[in-house]
Amino acid sequence: MKRTFVVGGISAGLLASALVASPAQAGDEVPSVILANTNLAAQQVAKFWYGEHKANLIGATPYDVETKVVAKHVSTGGPAADSKPGVIPAIGDEKKSTSKSKNVNLPKTSGKVFFIGADGDPHWCTGTSIQAQYRNLVATAGSCVYDTQSNGATLDKWVFIPGYYQGKTPWGIYVGKQGFTHYDFDVYEDGDRDYAFVTVYNGVIPTSAGFDKDYESKPYPTKRAAEREKAKLAADKTTGWSWLKIEEVIDYDRVKPQHSPESEHVGGVTYEAWHKFNSNTAFDDVDKAAATGTGYVDSNDVGQAEWQDALAGENVEGNVYLSEDKRTLGYTKPKEGGGFTYHLRSFWVNYDLDYKVVGKVLSIGLKDVGRLGDNVGGQGLAYNQKIGKPVFVFGYPSGSHPDGNYAFSGKTLKWAYGKTFAASASSIKAQELIGIKSSFTGEGALGSSWLLNYKSNRRLGLLNGVTIGVSDTDKNNRYDTSVSPYFDGETYGVYSVAKNLWSGRIV
């Protein structure tokens, strides 16, 4: 994936929309990666996830990066504001609401981020829609965009699906266009900066379930070459493969009759050469003794179509036939009261095989369903906030606690609530974190949104963190703490580069 750096934190064209606060930027650079830079590329990504009857979505597993923080490494410490507190209001939440809700209504903005990991398999994290000028921005953990296990390469086929549930995409699939993170995370994998903002194209849904279309590759001279082609197609699957297999194909132009069973020579003699070779050939003695009539057969009686039928196994009375072991070629001639076989010549038919890849392609049409923020809204952003404020955490935790208790399936959105506290975790290179008491397990919860001032009736609040790790701090073999980077002015600086960039539609 192409990686660029935006110098100065906020580009010149975006300065007018920046807040009065002037956040610092490490190195004054915001790393950026292109995820899908053309409409065609984005269409192929969407079709990949809709393909194979959504097997990729259903079969995806939680992203297995190191999210477990050793208990002794969670300690009080030191995030601190680097400028004045700032707030970006949520989409549709510009006016304050006086109504209250006793229930915790889950936000429509939360969903799953899907991608292909370095292992080539489909995985997922949690993400959330966040306010932006073009209503096209997703926030998640930086390690759910940048592959820290492969020298910072970008995770492939990146999409966001708000409200995802067991293969369902209620508001469509939103293909990632460009990702942004902090310089220190991109270069040093600094856990204090483990967050990312991704612009996404308009959402798409399939116009139909699709239909299967036959596919057949060109013939390959060796099975190994066909297997390479099959593997290449299976790894791509941009249009959704129903199935793929390799079939043998007889190359009729490369058939060699051999007198000796021990011959290993293959290819070279065509039907015409065989025809000339066998014309007016005498029978073997045994065959001649059994025959009535002349004892000779002119190979002019055998046409090329019959020759090919024989090679294809078409043993029809009165035509050329090929024995079951595909080695002895003969000609059946009927007589009154029965039939008998004249052998033109007993020989080994040493034929050449080619190999082709066949299968079916699931053809998918896509329909535009509009911008992410218009469909599900977008959370606001809060930075440089005081520690100790209550937040809701929304995510898709999955997996078990250290004691083996399988607490969460990852199938549905869950929530936790509590006040933030200062923390550090040297095991993930983080000294300026915030924590919350939570029973979330690490798998799947990566990227969960931490929402300050969450209004349940509006399902909106202010994004004030994303989960990057969990810990069992009291050592009872149950996770009890989740941690997030502290959102400060530098976080706002990364967000500011992404929030005013247009994505557009892919169909």
Bridge-based pairing state of the strands 414-419 and 460-466: unpaired
- Residue 273: its H or E element: helix 271-278
| Mean predicted confidence (pLDDT) in 340-355 | 48
Phi-psi region of 370 (alpha: psi -120 to 50; beta: other; left: phi over 0): left
What is the distance between the alpha carbons of residues 484 and 395, in angstroms, rounded to a whole number?
13
Pick the range with the lowest mean pLDDT from 55-59, 141-145, 167-171, 408-412: 55-59
How buried is residue 440: exposed, middle or buried, by Cβ count under 10 Å (0-12/13-18/19+)?
buried
What is the distance between the alpha carbons of residues 398 and 406, in angstroms, rounded to a whole number?
8
Q: Does pLDDT of 485 surpass 90?
A: yes
Residue 179 makes CB contacts below 8 A (sequence gap 6+) with 32, 33, 35, 145, 146, 154, 158, 196, 197, 198, 199
pLDDT score for 212: 64
Most confident region among 95-99, 187-191, 213-217, 267-271 by mean pLDDT: 187-191
Angle at 198 between CA 495 and CA 447, to 5 degrees: 90
Closest to 141 in 3D by CA, of 187, 179, 90, 107: 179
Most confident region among 28-37, 196-205, 317-326, 435-444 by mean pLDDT: 196-205
pLDDT score for 442: 80
Confidence category of residue 65, pLDDT binned at 50, 70, 90: low
Closest to 143 in 3D by CA, of 493, 482, 451, 445: 445
3-state class (DSSP) for residue 129: strand
Q: Does pLDDT of 247 surpass 80?
A: yes
Q: Does pLDDT of 313 surpass 50?
A: no
Q: Does pLDDT of 267 surpass 60?
A: no
Beta bridge partners of 206: 366
pLDDT score for 231: 85
Most confident region among 219-223, 354-358, 502-506 by mean pLDDT: 502-506
Q: Does pLDDT of 198 surpass 70?
A: yes
Confidence category of residue 34, pLDDT binned at 50, 70, 90: very high
pLDDT score for 438: 93
* 409 vs 329: which has the higher pLDDT: 409
What is the distance between the alpha carbons of residues 222 and 315, in angstroms, rounded to a whole number?
28
pLDDT score for 392: 97
Confidence category of residue 319, pLDDT binned at 50, 70, 90: very low
pLDDT score for 433: 92
Beta bridge partners of 422: 434
Confidence category of residue 130, pLDDT binned at 50, 70, 90: very high
Q: What is the mean pLDDT of the chain?
A: 74
Q: Does pLDDT of 111 surpass 90?
A: yes
Q: Does pLDDT of 290 surpass 60?
A: no
Confidence category of residue 63, pLDDT binned at 50, 70, 90: confident
Confidence category of residue 451, pLDDT binned at 50, 70, 90: very high
Confidence category of residue 419, pLDDT binned at 50, 70, 90: very high
Confidence category of residue 467, pLDDT binned at 50, 70, 90: very high
pLDDT score for 150: 65
pLDDT score for 236: 61
Q: Does pLDDT of 300 surpass 60?
A: no
| Mean predicted confidence (pLDDT) in 390-400 | 93
pLDDT score for 77: 59
Pick the range with the lowest mean pLDDT from 38-42, 92-96, 373-377, 427-431: 92-96
All domains of the chain in start order, with CATH = 3-209+364-499 (2.40.10.120), 267-349 (no CATH)
Pick the range with the lowest mean pLDDT from 171-185, 188-202, 465-479, 486-500: 465-479
CB 353 within 8 A of CB 366: no
CB 93 within 8 A of CB 380: yes
Closest to 271 in 3D by CA, of 309, 323, 317, 229: 309
Tokens 């969407």 found at: 46
Q: Does pLDDT of 402 surpass 80?
A: yes
Pick the range with the lowest mean pLDDT from 7-11, 67-71, 398-402: 7-11
Distance, C-alpha 137 to centroid of its chain: 20
Dump strand ranges (E) for 217-365.
241-258, 320-322, 329-335, 338-342, 348-363
Q: Does pLDDT of 137 surpass 60?
A: yes
Pick the range with the lowest mean pLDDT from 21-25, 95-99, 228-232, 391-395: 21-25
